[in-house]
A and B are shown apart, each in its own frame.
Chain A
């Protein structure tokens, strides 16, 4: 049988029973669409998180007060398990590490900012002049906090873009006096809008000198110390040196957690990559179900068309021709379902991107190829058994069926 005839024969056989064909194509399409949409979600989540973390700066080492994991018995633990404060002095000491380029301490708290009768709850971050270098932030107007002694802070503040818009609207903000908590501060700069980063939106933050923040919140400890290593290769040495310095300063007790941006990124990458694989696996189950459906439908089709198969044999069709006809039909249905599902899945992903523009819901290429491939292969694999059964039918018995 010629290939075009084979294709036409299979197509006619498939369209001869439209309901059966539509249901089968739909089942296959849902399977493929599920793979496309779910992997788009999973991979989109991965990219979203990676982008977020990449935007906080480069070559970052982050020091957090407290241990995130137990380090065995330490005599210090027997007396007290309260971690020592991570202080501004600790942060300053880190500058001595050879692999460290910049250090920026951060103390945070919430307070109220008021100007000209407007009042707003804001997050106040106490930091130093180095913060903009570490975080690679740009100024929209004015300057960032003045450099100088970390233990003494001028009464000045730098505000994020959102705070500026909400407090001042179209009026100029630079040079204005505002009240933050119980302090009167002068606005010396406005940050350029930057969006999300490290779980806090710098657009909605008021930056003040770290010493001022600690006085305002009556606290000695820092929220974080951001350390910028000299280069990408210096990240690991910087981490070790930072850990060692803090340990020495804290009477030999390692009571801080030091994480690197790369490690965080890699962890999220792995975590969300595994998540994507997981949802792809779940979606693949629906493909396998669709494959079994193909087999079931083709088996029913063989039974329904027994007399026809007997006739084809009587007319000179070989077993191979009949097998090819049924396999072509199964492959055709799977292909139609896979293509339909591919379109459906991309439409779904596009809809998600339309509804949540910040979320990069693009299905990864590997998932799309795997989804289409699996659909075709399952369709053909599950089509083999019915095709073989059809080819092996005894023509005499097949013809005697009405």
Chain B
């Protein structure tokens, strides 16, 4: 059997707030296979955002190991982690996090620009993505000229432009009304159907319920995993 896409074992993450220690994650073991659709749910402070940051290599655990596609990524240098983020991971945020001075097309192209991909290839891939996400006529608009749903579509186009193995979405519908949120979720699920691993962190039980696998977290530990 092939190695799982994501394998966490014995992950600990401790924050120091003044004198007290907060265990955001306690001895967490988790495996996620390629192509899965996972929802991470739980109350505030249960550690789900910390888990997402660890999975996205934005944060390092205090103990334990994280293997991404069979490779131990916790021991990589900051530069190497940045490279892994660039090539294998796409982020979708609740507040979109578009760069306000760049146009929609430039925002979508940003990961390729940072990775140093040639302008001609960038232009071709951005044009294709804008087409795919129904943004072709909004390519030269700035984020403040776009609706919430369009902004999140730009963000998703940006997250997928480098063809990552996994998309990490943190409350992707949190700032959207229900109709627009549904549209965005369908978009993400469509990507999952094409084989991209989708991990969604949410408070929203309805959104979480759509995932094939649901993880319930509480006090930094997995309370329930629908796959077991």
Q: Which residues of A approach B to under 8 Å, CB–CB?
A: 1-2, 4-5, 9, 12-13, 16, 307-308, 310-321, 395-396, 399, 402
- Which chain A residues lie closer than 8 Å to B53 at the CB level? 396
Q: Would A12 and B82 be within 8 Å (CB), given that A315-B158, A316-B115 are in contact?
A: no
- Which chain B residues lie closer than 8 Å to A307 at the CB level? 97
- Which chain A residues lie closer than 8 Å to B37 at the CB level? none
- Which chain A residues lie closer than 8 Å to B119 at the CB level? 4-5
Expressed in whole angstroms, the Cα–Cα distance for A321 and B79 within the complex equals 10
Let me know if A316 and B78 touch, CB within 8 A.
no
- Which chain A residues lie closer than 8 Å to B100 at the CB level? 16
At the interface, yes or no: B110 with Cβ under 8 Å from chain A? yes
At the interface, yes or no: B210 with Cβ under 8 Å from chain A? no
Let me know if B95 and A317 touch, CB within 8 A.
no
- Which chain B residues lie closer than 8 Å to A396 at the CB level? 53, 58-59
Expressed in whole angstroms, the Cα–Cα distance for A396 and B52 within the complex equals 10
Expressed in whole angstroms, the Cα–Cα distance for A320 and B115 within the complex equals 12
Let me know if A320 and B99 touch, CB within 8 A.
no
At the interface, yes or no: B111 with Cβ under 8 Å from chain A? yes
Let me know if A311 and B82 touch, CB within 8 A.
no
Expressed in whole angstroms, the Cα–Cα distance for A395 and B101 within the complex equals 20
Expressed in whole angstroms, the Cα–Cα distance for A34 and B79 within the complex equals 43
Q: Which of B51-96 contact A (CB under 8 A)?
A: 53, 56, 58-59, 78-79, 82-83, 85-87, 91, 93, 95
Q: Which residues of B approach A to under 8 Å, CB–CB?
A: 53, 56, 58-59, 78-79, 82-83, 85-87, 91, 93, 95, 97, 99-102, 110-111, 113-116, 119, 158, 162
Let me know if B95 and A312 touch, CB within 8 A.
no
Q: Would A317 and B82 be within 8 Å (CB), given that A1-B113, A12-B102, A312-B114 are in contact?
A: yes
Expressed in whole angstroms, the Cα–Cα distance for A396 and B102 within the complex equals 22
Expressed in whole angstroms, the Cα–Cα distance for A308 and B162 within the complex equals 19
B156 to A: closest C-beta gap in Å: 13
- Which chain A residues lie closer than 8 Å to B83 at the CB level? 316, 318
Expressed in whole angstroms, the Cα–Cα distance for A200 and B102 within the complex equals 69
- Which chain B residues lie closer than 8 Å to A308 at the CB level? 97, 99
- Which chain A residues lie closer than 8 Å to B111 at the CB level? 315-316
Top 5 closest pairs, chain A to chain B, by CB: A316-B86, A16-B101, A318-B82, A395-B58, A315-B111
**Residue among B59, B95, B110 making CB contact with A315, cutoff 8 Å:** B110
Q: Which residue of A is nearest B168, CB measured?
A: A314
Let me know if A320 and B79 touch, CB within 8 A.
yes
Q: Would A399 and B101 be within 8 Å (CB), given that A1-B114, A319-B78, A321-B114 are in contact?
A: no
Expressed in whole angstroms, the Cα–Cα distance for A312 and B91 within the complex equals 11
B97 to A: closest C-beta gap in Å: 5
- Which chain B residues lie closer than 8 Å to A318 at the CB level? 78-79, 82-83
Let me know if A317 and B114 touch, CB within 8 A.
yes
Q: Which residue of A is nearest B161, CB measured?
A: A315
Expressed in whole angstroms, the Cα–Cα distance for A399 and B93 within the complex equals 9
- Looking at A2, A12, A314, A399, the one whose CB has the most chain B CB atoms below 10 A away is A314
Q: Would A316 and B87 be within 8 Å (CB), given that A1-B116, A399-B58 are in contact?
A: yes
- Looking at A5, A13, A320, the one whose CB has the most chain B CB atoms below 10 A away is A5
B219 to A: closest C-beta gap in Å: 20
Expressed in whole angstroms, the Cα–Cα distance for A210 and B95 within the complex equals 97
Let me know if B99 and A311 touch, CB within 8 A.
yes
- Which chain A residues lie closer than 8 Å to B114 at the CB level? 1, 312, 315-317, 321
A267 to B: closest C-beta gap in Å: 59
- Which chain A residues lie closer than 8 Å to B93 at the CB level? 311, 399
B200 to A: closest C-beta gap in Å: 16
B10 to A: closest C-beta gap in Å: 21
Q: Would A315 and B79 be within 8 Å (CB), given that A2-B116, A307-B97 are in contact?
A: no
Let me know if B97 and A311 touch, CB within 8 A.
yes
B67 to A: closest C-beta gap in Å: 20
Expressed in whole angstroms, the Cα–Cα distance for A310 and B97 within the complex equals 9
- Which chain A residues lie closer than 8 Å to B86 at the CB level? 315-317
Expressed in whole angstroms, the Cα–Cα distance for A13 and B116 within the complex equals 18
Let me know if B113 and A316 touch, CB within 8 A.
no
